[in-house]
């Protein structure tokens, strides 16, 4: 009999209904996820399952899982969640999604469940750990890299530099990784977390939670598998989920 595959919950994006006559996907609200999120989890030995947006069901969902991936998307964490007095004009939110993901992360952390936050998922993780965000990178970093890269997302946009001695460094076995980049916000401080990677312009690229079995957030999209480090990140998550389930 084969070993049980760790069940990895993957958060979904949500989209509004398309106006009548526009030819959109559906005239009703719908969930969405890129195929490569699910594919890389399966390729690394996990069993991916999609999670809907119902905060009241979060604890019940997490009770069935071995690990959690909080995905990214073209939206922002509501600034009031980290005490920002003003809202930048570029900020777009999806409150229902954020509420559901926050409930999932909190339920997962109560069980010390392995968690991987990706792009916006990393930013939410930072906020839930008591951190804050930069609402628009160009307004804070005058010499910022192109963090919303013009080239395709399955290509590298820039490198990130990983701090020696961190869990992330041990996991990927490198101090520097080429990554893709698709974000206009960034972590300002990580609260109870520790910043473990930055870009050359000092924008925060990864964080982790010391003393936790596996709680890592990365600002890039490792599901595209641009480097060996991307796959090692998912393998680390799934191995931690496997160990937790033994």
User: Which positions are catalytic?
Assistant: 119, 221, 223
Which one, of 125, 215, 120, lies nearest residue 171 by Cα? 215
Which one, of 152, 158, 237, lies nearest residue 203 by Cα? 158
Each residue's pLDDT expressed in tens, for the chain with a length of 246 residues? 358 899 999 999 999 999 888 888 999 999 999 999 999 999 999 999 999 999 999 999 999 999 999 999 999 999 999 999 999 999 999 999 999 999 999 999 999 999 999 999 999 999 999 999 999 999 999 899 999 999 999 999 999 999 999 999 999 999 999 999 999 999 999 999 999 999 999 999 999 999 999 999 999 999 999 999 999 999 999 999 999 876
The hierarchical CATH code for the domain 7-245 is: 3.40.50.880
**3-state helix vs strand vs coil in the chain, percent to 5:** 30, 25, 45
Which one, of 148, 147, 134, lies nearest residue 185 by Cα? 134
pTM over 0.95: yes
The Cα 121–Cα 194 span in angstroms is 16
The structural domains of the chain, with segments of one domain joined by +, span 7-245
């Amino acid at each position: 009999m084969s070993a049980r595959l760790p069940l990895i919950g993957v958060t979904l994006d949500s989209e509004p209904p398309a106006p009548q006559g526009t030819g959109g996907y559906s005239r009703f609200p719908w969930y969405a996820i890129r195929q490569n999120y699910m594919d890389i989890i399966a390729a690394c030995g996990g069993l991916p399952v999609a999670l809907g947006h119902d905060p009241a069901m979060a604890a019940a969902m997490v009770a069935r899982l071995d690990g959690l991936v909080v995905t990214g998307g073209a939206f922002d964490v509501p600034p009031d969640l980290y005490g920002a007095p003003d809202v930048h004009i570029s900020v777009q939110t999806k409150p229902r999604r954020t509420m559901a993901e926050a409930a999932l992360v909190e339920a997962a952390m109560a069980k010390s469940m392995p968690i991987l936050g990706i792009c916006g998922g990393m930013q939410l993780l930072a906020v839930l750990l008591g951190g804050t965000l930069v609402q628009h990178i160009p307004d804070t970093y005058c010499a910022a890299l192109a963090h919303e890269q013009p080239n395709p997302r399955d290509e590298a946009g820039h490198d990130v530099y990983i701090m020696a001695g961190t869990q992330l460094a041990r996991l990927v076995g490198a101090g520097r990784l080429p990554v893709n980049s698709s974000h206009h916000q960034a972590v300002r401080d990580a609260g109870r977390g520790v910043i473990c990677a930055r870009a050359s312009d000092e924008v925060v690229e990864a964080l982790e939670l010391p003393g936790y079995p596996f709680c890592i957030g990365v600002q890039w999209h490792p599901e595209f598998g641009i480097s060996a480090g991307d796959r090692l990140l998912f393998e680390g998550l799934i191995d931690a989920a496997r160990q937790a389930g033994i």
